[in-house]
């Protein structure tokens, strides 16, 4: 029997794989397709498009949309919620890069003193 491709399995593990239709994404988030379109209009998430032009969302995008929905549910205007989520994401990325640089700097210093 020929070896089976692991490509399908890899797609399931990929947070950026556009696996969810707009309807399914809205259902999972407990929101409406209009809410997802609004997040796209405010450039919080940009869904990929299927060959037929339908929006497709990844797990990562659904997590981002869920965070925006939390803020909107708490009374934050959607424009502000999108900006907050973008800033939170940028801060998390900056902290990750900072930690990597510190770890690299610490490794270099320990080699230099040895």
Q: pLDDT for 25-82, tens place per residue?
A: 999 999 999 999 999 999 999 999 988 999 999 999 999 999 999 999 999 999 999 9
Rounded to an integer, what distance in angstroms lies between the CA atom of residue 101 and that of residue 91?
A: 15
Backbone angles phi, psi at 96, to 5 degrees: -65, -45
Contact status, residue 19 vs residue 25, Cβ threshold 8 Å: no
In DSSP terms, which residues pair with 78 in a beta bridge?
Answer: none
pLDDT value for 78: 97
Buried b (16+ CB within 10 A) or exposed e, 14-49: eeebbbbbbeebbeebebeeebbebbbebebbebee
Q: Rounded mean pLDDT of 15-22?
A: 91
- pTM comes to 0.77
pLDDT value for 106: 79
pLDDT value for 16: 86
The owner of tokens 């965070």 is: 67
pLDDT value for 13: 77
């Amino acid at each position: 029997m020929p070896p089976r491709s692991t490509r399908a399995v890899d797609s399931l593990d990929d947070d950026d794989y556009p696996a969810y239709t707009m309807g399914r994404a809205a259902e999972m988030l407990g929101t409406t397709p209009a809410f997802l379109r609004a997040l796209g209009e405010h450039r919080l998430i940009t869904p990929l498009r299927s060959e037929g032009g339908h929006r497709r969302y990844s797990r990562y995008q659904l997590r981002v949309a869920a965070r925006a929905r939390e803020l909107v549910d708490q009374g934050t205007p959607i424009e502000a919620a999108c900006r907050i989520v973008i800033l939170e994401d940028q801060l998390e990325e900056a902290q990750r890069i900072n930690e990597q640089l510190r770890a690299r700097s610490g490794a270099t210093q320990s080699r230099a003193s040895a």
